[in-house]
Amino acid sequence: MTESTINEVLEPQRTLRVISYGGGVQSTALLVLAANGHIDFPTFLFSNVGDDSENPATLQYIRHVAVPFAQQHGLTLVSLEKIRRDGRTETLWQRLHKPDTRSIPIPVRMANGAPGRRNCTADFKIKVISKWLREKGATADRPATVGIGISVDEIHRANRRRSEPNEEVTYPLLDLGLRREDCIRLIAEAGLPVPPKSSCYFCPFHTVGEWHEQRRIEPDLFAKSEELEAFINTRRAALGRDDVYLTRYGIPLGIAIQNTQPKDPGDGDCDSGWCMT
């Protein structure tokens, strides 16, 4: 038995330590902290819900800014996708347009403005990362440590975070007492541009202000969001169900969001700790 083999027997394999990387401000701050040696997380996992679904600006940031930065500092940033049992990749946009789908995986708004149930975060983020961890050896008896980018000013979100049996969730920004403004400062000090807010471009948790920005700056994405809302309601009408919406106003997106400045910017309501960090 060689010395290296003896060491492998005597020293248990190191527990996996990963960051769930969303491509936003908080998780990019975690990338900077890891690069500077302030936190011990060598691997960052970005679960891409689909190039046809993610905010294109987020994808550009990850590919052209975050990945090169990680490589320069000896870190690994892995992009994951949802793989079906038949081996094909599935995106959230494809799931929403699946011919036999009767449920809606995104939290569309009911007529009273309340969000419906959602499975998008669980199916396209949490489970995808959990599967990767399981393939790398994480188990319920030996869970991976998964860092989530929730800052002090969003501490309420930490209590709502679901975890898988093979994960032990931790919040490095909370441990360090860092707020969002601190994260922005860390990113700027590292010489990186501040990333855009990460989410699907058609997410019903967008604030009114974000919808107005999309209509003004990215009219093509706004048009696709309108088309998605109309498609969902055509499907629901065939099933004898009421219309649903992408905003809380109970009217179609194109009517709810006009080419004017919003009077009520509203607040985002994503509580997963995965999509928008």
pLDDT-derived band at 263, boundaries 50, 70, 90: low
Alpha helices by DSSP H, listed for the chain, are 3-10, 25-35, 56-61, 67-72, 92-96, 120-121, 127-135, 172-175, 180-189, 208-217, 219-238, 253-256
- CA angle centred on 178, ends 167 and 198, rounded to 5°: 65
Beta carbons of 149 and 137 less than 8 angstroms apart: no
Residue whose tokens read 């107005």 = 212
pLDDT-derived band at 271, boundaries 50, 70, 90: very low
pLDDT at 37: 97
d(CA 63, CA 32): 16
Q: Does the pLDDT of residue 104 top 90, yes or no?
A: yes
Compute the average pLDDT of residues 165-180. 96
- CA angle centred on 20, ends 17 and 22, rounded to 5°: 155
pLDDT at 22: 96
Return residue ranges of the chain for CATH 3.40.50.620. Answer: 3-200
Domain 3-200 indexed as CATH 3.40.50.620: yes
Closest among 51, 70, 54 to 274, alpha carbons compared:
54
pLDDT at 166: 94
For residue 33, which phi and psi values (nearest 5 degrees)? -65, -40
Beta carbons of 44 and 23 less than 8 angstroms apart: no
Q: Given strand 76-80, what is the order of strands in its sheet?
A: 76-80, 43-47, 17-20, 144-147, 167-170
In this prediction, what percent of the chain has a pLDDT beyond 90? 77
> Whole-number mean pLDDT of the chain?
89
pLDDT at 118: 84
